[in-house]
Amino acid sequence: MTVTATSVGESDQLEPRMAPGARTWARRLVRLVPAAAAALSGLLLYVSFPPRTLWWLALPAFAVFGWVLRGRGWKAALGLGYLFGLGFLLPLLVWTGVEVGPGPWLALVAIEALFVAAVGAGVAAVSKLPGWPVWAAAVWIAGEAARARAPFHGFPWGKVAFGQADGVFLPLAAVGGTPVLGFAVVLCGFGLYEVVRLGLERRATGVVRYAAAGVAVLSMGVPVLGAFAARALVSDKAEDGSVTVGVVQGNVPRAGLDFNSQRRAVLDYHARETERLAAEVKAGKVARPDFVLWPENSSDIDPFANPDARAVIDRAAKSIGVPISVGGVVERDGKLYNEQILWDPAKGPVDTYDKRQIQPFGEYLPLRSLIGAINKNWTAMVRQDFSRGTEPGVFTMDGAKVGLVTCYEAAFDWAVRSEVTDGAQMISVPSNNATFDRSEMTYQQLAMSRVRAVEHSRTVTVPVTSGVSAIIMPDGRITQKTGMFVADSLVQKVPLRSSQTPATRLGILPEVALVLVAAGGLGWAVGAGLRGRRAADV
């Protein structure tokens, strides 16, 4: 066949060629797709967290994350994991910079996202294994376990489990705590991607890989079925009778770090709200509580060293006529403690609990010299480091055993469990959110408390200085709550419980088991990679 010049020209007109520059830009845009998808899927995971009730968005978030990472080399996976971490943690933790500026917030996120980057490399490595969603979900939980312990005693804020307070998976918290709950959600998300991937593969090739398809379906189905089966462990039935609890939110004069400069006003506000509650009880408008719970920092004036503060608390306790748990800042033997004080209306202070998991850069300053060299204002905010308590805190209040978990401690599995194993029949999470203004922090912490209620099958109260204070049933339901930056009180009859869930009895074991699963998967993946290289060399 002879091809003429005319026919060649006609062919060029029918199939116009892309300019070299356009091809280069097209290739660059294609390369950016995984990076953009990683960041956006991290953002999607953030949107699944409170105060929104879009818990189910965690599933497509991990499905997209699995698509981005599957089959990637470790270097690319590190970068993509880091982008996922930034997309998730930057908006989630923005409240950490509300009063101190963007520097600490960005530094915190930059460090925490490194853990997610390592998880990304691990997920990519196991993504080539049979049944990879199981290995990959275990790798994610191993990353959370590491993040909860280092640096500076860990920062578990943002565990996947804490975004599931409104979700169908919540009962799994009673089975194995936050590790099992988080594992189920991540596994279901990776399983969702695998189902879609195998479906598209079958459509393109006509080949059905039954074993892989079975694992994918089970990865989605088992967590859901397990969650429904675990509902039998969730109950709000009173086992040891009931008590009527009072939760006082006194409010603060104004938000921000300088609320500490008005310490006397904060104490007066909480005493005043308690006296108002006492007047309502006397008038028969509300039931008399068996005891009253004040928030963390409700008396930043040390009542052991300041007679005027002691007199204010004494007057409030006598007005209501029942014991009060007071959140105080006290100095003892030259050391500063964030302390809960059990205040009897007749005897005064009779017991104390010192916060054990204190907040780095908030209650103590690691690397003080280095940070001072960078910015002296930051060291001025934490002039003296708080000391750590050493013992669990369970107050006996009108016969009820009340476990104290102060604010930041609610994020740590061990801190909550220790109160229950020490005999707590209910839990109180006294907190101070005034330094974070109207940010999402208070809602994130409230969701943690709901997860803890189900995890240990205990009523949980959340007395907060400025909102949102709440009463949570052992099944995770919020039955009463306050607004933000208002003075208010909540009174309710709540169940006392003493039985222990599997999660309480097992403690750290489910997390250890999942970390071992992750280690096994990574070991298998590394071994398979080495064998493949040796075979290629031969």
Q: Give 3-state DSSP helix, strand, coil % of the chain, rounded to 5.
A: 55, 15, 30
Any idea what DSSP says for residue 330? E
Selected catalytic residue, list 112, 273, 355, 409: 355
**Residue 376 bears catalytic tag:** no
Residue 344, classed as helix, strand or coil, is: strand
Closest-CA residue to 357 (of 284, 419, 283, 300): 419
CA atoms within 13 A on the CB side of 264: 5
| Contacts of range 386-390, beta carbons closer than 8 Å, 24 or more positions apart | 386/336, 386/337, 386/338, 386/355, 386/358, 387/335, 387/336, 387/337, 387/354, 387/358, 388/354, 388/355, 388/356, 388/357, 388/358, 389/337, 389/339, 389/353, 389/354, 389/355, 389/356, 390/354, 390/356
For 495, the 3-state DSSP assignment is strand
3-state secondary structure of 259: helix
Contacts 24+ apart (CB under 8 A), 412-416: 412/148, 412/154, 412/156, 412/357, 413/148, 413/156, 413/177, 413/178, 413/179, 413/508, 413/511, 414/507, 414/508, 415/356, 415/357, 416/452, 416/455, 416/456
Q: Find the catalytic residue in 144, 296, 363, 409.
A: 296
> Is 355 part of the annotated catalytic residue set?
yes
Q: Order the strands of the 394-397 sheet from edge to edge.
A: 394-397, 400-404, 426-428, 459-462, 470-472, 478-481
DSSP letter, residue 17 = P
CA-derived radius of gyration, the chain: 27
Tokens of 149: 């312990």
Q: Which residues of 55-84 are buried (b: 16+ CB within 10 A; e: fewer)?
A: bbbbbbbbbbbbbbbbebeeebbbbbbbbb
> What is the 8-class DSSP label of residue 496?
-
Residue 331, both tokens: 């100095």
**Contact of 228 with 175, CB cutoff 8 Å:** no
Length of the chain: 538
In DSSP notation, 417-466 reads: HHHHHTT-SEEE--B--GGGTTSTHHHHHHHHHHHHHHHHT-EEEE-BSS
Residue identified by tokens 């892309």 is 18
Rounded distance between C-alpha atoms, residue 10 and residue 22, angstroms: 23
Task: Tell me the residue type at 371.
Answer: I
* Beta-carbon contacts of residue 373 (< 8 Å; ≥ 6 apart): none
Which amino acid makes up residue 23?
A: R
d(CA 314, CA 347) in angstroms, rounded, equals 9
Specify whether 419 is catalytic. Answer: no
| Residue from 339, 401, 407, 481 carrying the catalytic annotation | 407
Contact 340, 393 (CB under 8 A): yes
Return the active site residues: 296, 355, 407
